[in-house]
């Protein structure tokens, strides 16, 4: 890379990744609700219709099962579709297509028919969009063999994950936390594709490992700064991918710090946090100085009122309190 930086937003980084893919490969096209004339519900695809035309930026009816199914057919027919589902809540209308079809084709065909489909969707709460637009279902989809689940938290990953995902023979679901779209920061002018297979340590530490992804990364980093002022040195891991999980990075970190807190915007019961915690228990149990802890969303539909929504979601203060309690009793 040249080293030259530009100020941009998460939304603009995603758009740059889409534009790059469209320019690189004429088989790539974007389809979904309001992606064309409206410019995308979160303005990610704004301007792309004028540049690439309606053959490659396709507005669809409000029928997730239909247009996700069309994306599967296009992928298996040699195209490289990027399907946008407005929010992950609406992906439930396409569960049969995603779970029973896209995820299984490569396996059921004995490796003969890959399904290189990419599905992007907004996830998470924090924007007062109420219970039908604010949940976090990436942990659900991480349960399914045959799918890959990405959760870009940084501008670099927002810009670079898409092209790598399009090269994958498996369907890849990219979950973009909707609170991140306006996030501003610096990104290399010549930023490009990034690897999608590993977690990343954003802050080194010796006392406790904070394991998270998506928008919760920034809450974990804020919590780590507060903890540092209290003399507690927290390591922060951005998972980046929920399937596959980067066990090696997680386990090596916990073996060093001897404590782990998983921060997950999904619900606690049956969530990805339980899976991560169990993998730690199975592999580095005797390295632990305290039980694995979790900070998750409250077991309620996401509330609409701002103060209740904030109370329901993981926050930096909750992470700090959890770590302090662990340090006292661990």
SS3 of residue 228 by DSSP? helix
Does an H or E element contain 7, and which? strand 5-9
The verdict on whether 12 is a catalytic residue reads: no
Q: C-alpha 267: how far from its chain's center?
A: 15
Instruction: Name the region of 100 (left: φ>0; alpha: ψ -120 to 50; beta: rest).
Output: alpha
Beta pairing class for 241-243 and 148-150: antiparallel
Candidates 133, 176, 202, 309; catalytic one: 133
CB of 31 closer than 8 Å to CB of 67: yes
Residues 6 or more apart whose CB falls under 8 angstroms from that of 110 comprise none
Candidates 12, 33, 64, 309; catalytic one: 64
The verdict on whether 229 is a catalytic residue reads: no
Buried b / exposed e along 278-307 (16+ C-beta atoms within 10 A) = ebbeeebeeebebebbbbbbeeeebbeeee
CB of 280 closer than 8 Å to CB of 251: yes
Residues annotated catalytic, as ranges: 64, 133
């Amino acid at each position: 890379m040249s080293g030259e930086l530009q100020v941009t937003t998460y939304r603009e980084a995603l758009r740059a990744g889409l534009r790059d893919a469209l320019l690189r490969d004429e088989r790539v096209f974007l389809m979904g609700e309001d992606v064309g004339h409206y410019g995308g519900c979160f303005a990610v695809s704004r301007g792309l219709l004028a540049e690439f035309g309606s053959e490659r930026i396709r507005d669809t009816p409000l029928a997730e099962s239909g247009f996700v199914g069309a994306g599967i057919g296009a992928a298996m027919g040699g195209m490289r579709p990027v399907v946008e589902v407005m929010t992950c809540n609406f992906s439930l209308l396409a569960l049969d297509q995603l779970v029973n079809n896209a995820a299984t084709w490569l396996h059921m065909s004995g490796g003969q028919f890959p399904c290189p489909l990419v599905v992007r969707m907004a996830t998470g709460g924090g924007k007062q969009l109420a219970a039908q637009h604010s949940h976090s279902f990436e942990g659900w989809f991480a349960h399914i063999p045959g799918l890959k689940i990405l959760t870009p938290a940084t501008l670099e990953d927002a810009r670079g994950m898409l092209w790598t995902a399009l090269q994958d023979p498996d369907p890849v679901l990219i979950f973009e936390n909707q609170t991140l779209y306006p996030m501003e920061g610096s990104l290399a002018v010549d930023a490009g594709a990034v690897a999608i297979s590993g977690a990343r340590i954003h802050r080194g530490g010796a006392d406790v490992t904070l394991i998270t992804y998506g928008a919760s990364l920034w809450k974990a980093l804020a919590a780590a700064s507060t903890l540092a002022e209290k003399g507690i040195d927290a390591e922060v891991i951005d998972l980046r991918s929920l399937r596959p999980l980067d066990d090696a990075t997680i386990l090596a970190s916990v073996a060093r710090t001897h404590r782990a807190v998983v921060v997950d915007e999904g619900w606690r019961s049956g969530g990805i946090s339980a899976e991560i915690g169990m993998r730690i228990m199975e592999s580095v149990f005797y390295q632990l100085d305290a039980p694995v802890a979790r900070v998750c969303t409250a077991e309620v539909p996401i509330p609409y009122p701002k103060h209740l929504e904030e109370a329901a979601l993981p926050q930096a203060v909750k992470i700090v309190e959890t770590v302090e309690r662990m340090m006292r009793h661990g």
